[in-house]
Amino acid sequence: MMKQLITVDLGASSGRVMLGTFNGSHIELKEWHRFDSYHLVNGSHCEWDIELINREIRHGIDLLLDAGIIPDAIGIDTWGVDFVLTDAQGQQIGKAVSYRDSRTQGVMEQVLSELGAERIYSATGIQFMPFNTIFQLKALIDEQPDWLDKVSCLQFIPDYLGYLLTGEKNCEYTNATTSQLLNCRSRDWDTSLLEELNIPKSWFLPVSPTNRAIGTYDVHGLSIPVISIASHDTASAVAAVPFRDPSAAFISSGTWSLIGIEEEEALSTESARQLNVANEGGVEKFRVLKNVSGLWFAQKVREELKISSFSELVQLAEAAPAFTCFIDTNEPRFLNPTSMQEEIKTYLRETGQQVPEDAGTLVRAIFESLALLYSEVVEDMESLRGGAIPCINIVGGGCQNQLLNQLCADACKREVFAGPIEASAIGNLVCQLIALGAVEDLKAARSLIANSFPVTQFNPRADNNFYAFQQHANSIRQN
């Protein structure tokens, strides 16, 4: 039963090539290669350095092979919505533009005025965010670059990276759902929506199921199977949630916070649209969630202040005074500011609040504001489901932040279970095991994860002052 699997896990700020080992009853992960700096700014545009990412993935695989490890398979997961366009020969056309690029500014509003939010949401069930693929493509079509008529195929980032290894084109379901172009009932491209936006249907590959082999990476005399796993990193992360209760909520905590529940069918009701909830594809169920602000704020502040580590930043926040100010972290102004700390301070002055004088107080305010946001989303999910959410599972790199975990428990008034940390990579790994027939299904995979990685429990504290903080936040928003 021994399996050795390569998990390529790419986030918005760094990528890892990791080795996952399964001995029949236990799984382990070991990082072999980490790389970053593949988010480029050329002039006014933000893009991904796909050539660099491809080289780094291959280098990480070479490091494993040089160590005498012969992997049974490879799986790749990345962020959603972004894509690469290719010509009839499979060569990239144009740039792999990042979701943080400004080209979609005002596009969502234009599309909604033309087609109506109800029409788009009832078909796709996806949260409206200005960087969704639908709006990126509308911006591109309107721009009409001179190479547009040469486009033959659109592939989302993980599919295209798989294509570079195998030469096989693919369109994996979980990542495709993030586009806001897939019909949530038919689970296929919404042809009428594409037509109304003048986006060529011919660009889109058939949507393929999760957890299947798409080809082989042929290197050094080996043919290593490449598995199309749940290639959207949040789909992989949610696959790795060791739910103690199937009714629990999850938070995938990283640069973004993905907060939601699992449901058999999409909840694309008018109530869900009003709450701006996404129904994204999962391994076996829909991930009904909201994509909200995450540790991007604290990451940028740490970077700007040149604080040596994230743990040091958390320590400063732990020692700082509580509830000094509220930051509405969903404000569009915070998506990609020139200086995060200065943008926050400007916002606080504009809303008549006290401006923190030190990094610890500023970062604590970020964490408290995030925890309050988490509690509001969990309540929304509870009302949408029409049933109780007993507890919350936090996974991903952000679950190492014990201060934020405790603040989440306090704000949400629920038990919080934190772990595993490397959720996307672990989900990637177990999806490969399912595809290879080494693990029966997702239920068995989650049981395996629970037995392989530690989980820490946080209980809500009484009299934690979040009620008063909520009232303060409401008054700031109303003004």
pLDDT tens digits for range 121-140: 999 999 999 999 999 999 99
Reference 233, options 189, 180, 287; nearest CA is: 287
Q: What is the DSSP letter of 319?
A: T
- CA distances to 35, 121, 124, 176, 306 from 190, rounded to whole Å, are 37, 12, 8, 12, 46
How large is the average pLDDT for residues 143-170? 97
Intrachain domains 3-228 and 241-419+440-479 with the same fold: yes
Q: CA–CA separation, 225 vs 306, rounded Å?
A: 42
pLDDT of residue 1: 76
Reference 403, options 314, 278, 275, 309; nearest CA is: 314
pLDDT of residue 144: 94
Question: Is pLDDT above 90 for 41?
Answer: no
How large is the average pLDDT for residues 7-20? 94
pLDDT of residue 8: 98
Contacts of 275 (CB under 8 A, 6+ apart): 290, 380, 384
Question: Is pLDDT above 80 for 441?
Answer: yes
- CA distances to 242, 285, 313, 321 from 464, rounded to whole Å, are 28, 35, 22, 13
Contacts of 286 (CB under 8 A, 6+ apart): 184, 262, 263, 264, 265, 266, 267, 279, 280
Q: What is the DSSP letter of 388?
A: -
For residues 444, 445, 448, 453, the Cα torsion angle rounded to the nearest 10 degrees is -150
Q: CA–CA separation, 165 vs 54, rounded Å?
A: 8
Band of residue 404 on the pLDDT scale cut at 50, 70, 90: very high
How large is the average pLDDT for residues 175-192? 97
How large is the average pLDDT for residues 434-456? 97
pLDDT of residue 257: 95
Tell me which amino acid residue 152 is: S
Reference 335, options 283, 291, 381, 396; nearest CA is: 291
CATH match for 3-228 among 1.20.1290.10, 3.20.10.10, 3.30.420.40, 3.40.50.850? 3.30.420.40
Q: 354-395 pLDDT, tens per residue? A: 999 999 999 999 999 999 999 999 999 999 999 999 999 999
What pTM was computed for the model? Answer: 0.93
101 carries an active-site annotation: no
Q: CA–CA separation, 295 vs 99, rounded Å?
A: 17
Question: Is pLDDT above 80 for 479?
Answer: yes
The percent of residues in the chain predicted with pLDDT above 90, rounded, is: 94
Q: Where in the chain are the domains? A: 3-228, 241-419+440-479
- Provide the pairing of β-strand 222-228 with 73-77: parallel
Sequence-ordered alpha helix ranges (H) in 116-269:
117-124, 133-143, 157-166, 173-177, 191-196, 233-239
Band of residue 13 on the pLDDT scale cut at 50, 70, 90: confident
How large is the average pLDDT for residues 57-86? 98
Q: Confirm if 217 and 165 have CB atoms less than 8 A apart.
A: yes
Contacts of 300 (CB under 8 A, 6+ apart): 337, 340, 341
pLDDT of residue 303: 94
Q: Residue 202 phi/psi, 5° resolution? A: -65, -20
How large is the average pLDDT for residues 224-236? 97
Reference 237, options 214, 256, 219; nearest CA is: 256
Q: For 165, left (φ over 0), alpha (ψ -120 to 50), or beta?
A: alpha
- Architecture of domain 241-419+440-479 in CATH? 2-Layer Sandwich (3.30)
pLDDT of residue 332: 87
How large is the average pLDDT for residues 96-120? 96
Q: CA–CA separation, 201 vs 203, rounded Å?
A: 5
Q: Which of 233, 245, 441, 463 is catalytic?
A: 233
pLDDT of residue 44: 72
Q: Give the sheet arrangement for strand 92-93, strand by strand.
A: 92-93, 83-86, 153-156
Query: Using DSSP, how many helices (H) and how many strands (E) does the chain show?
Result: 17, 19
pLDDT of residue 234: 93
Please provide the average confidence, as pLDDT, over all residues in the chain. 96
Distance between alpha carbon 198 and the CA centroid of its chain, in Å?
A: 28
pLDDT of residue 17: 98
Question: Is pLDDT above 80 for 43?
Answer: no
Please report how many Cα atoms fall inside a 13 Å half-sphere around the Cα of residue 231, on the Cβ side: 34
What does 216-236 look like in DSSP terms, one character per residue? EEEETTEEEEEEE---BHHHH
- CA distances to 83, 84, 112, 170, 297 from 154, rounded to whole Å, are 7, 6, 23, 10, 32
Tell me which amino acid residue 22 is: F
Band of residue 307 on the pLDDT scale cut at 50, 70, 90: very high
Q: Is the peptide bond before 420 cis (omega within 30 degrees of 0)?
A: yes
